[in-house]
Amino acid sequence: MIWVGVGMTDVAFSCSCGTLKGIVHDASPANACHLICFCKDCRAFARHMGQMEALEPGGGSPLVQVLPARIEITQGADQIACLRLSPKGLHRWYAACCNTPLANTVGSSRMPLAGMWSPLFETTRAFGPVVTYGFTKAALPGGPRKDKGLGRMMGGLAKRALAAYLNGTARQSPFFDAAGAPVATPRIISKDEKAAAYAE
């Protein structure tokens, strides 16, 4: 569902079972990057969460890159959980109630970036079309073999991050508290879990 107000578009999202719900505020192509990531790590996360059927052809993870400050959890915040595929891997957030991926972030609130799982949204129309295909060399058969829009993605990320620092919202995030600590302790998956997640 999309709510359109004066100068803004708020887009609702929810986990698969509906326990966790939220809103991305001020959604627009200018405030986001709609992308598909074909890297093995994102695919391993989807496999570990039992979400392979939601991937794009070629095993691409559908994501919307937004500023964390624009994400509001309106219900079920106690279900936010986090794992890492390796000790230095991204923080991969999910809803513990039904193992629905939520977003990928770096391990610090200092970098205002959240790659949200697109299937959370009933529609991604407000974010515009997919403009970036990344890590296509790792795509499975049937996927693209040439990256697209990476420069646009990085440029947009830098522009949004700078704006967030200038307006004082850079460290606001539903995934980190005011002190910058994760709201849920990240769990590093076991060697057996990792082997199963990366099995292709």
pLDDT tens, 32-80?
Answer: 999 999 999 999 999 999 999 999 999 999 999 999 999 999 999 999 9
The pLDDT, as a whole number, for residue 2 is 40
The pLDDT, as a whole number, for residue 96 is 98
Residue 1: pLDDT band (50, 70, 90) is very low
Contact 2, 10 (CB under 8 A): yes
Strand order, beta sheet including 71-75:
2-5, 8-14, 21-24, 71-75
Model confidence, pTM: 0.94
Cα gap 145→132, rounded to integer Å: 13
Phi and psi dihedrals of 124, rounded to 5? -110, 15
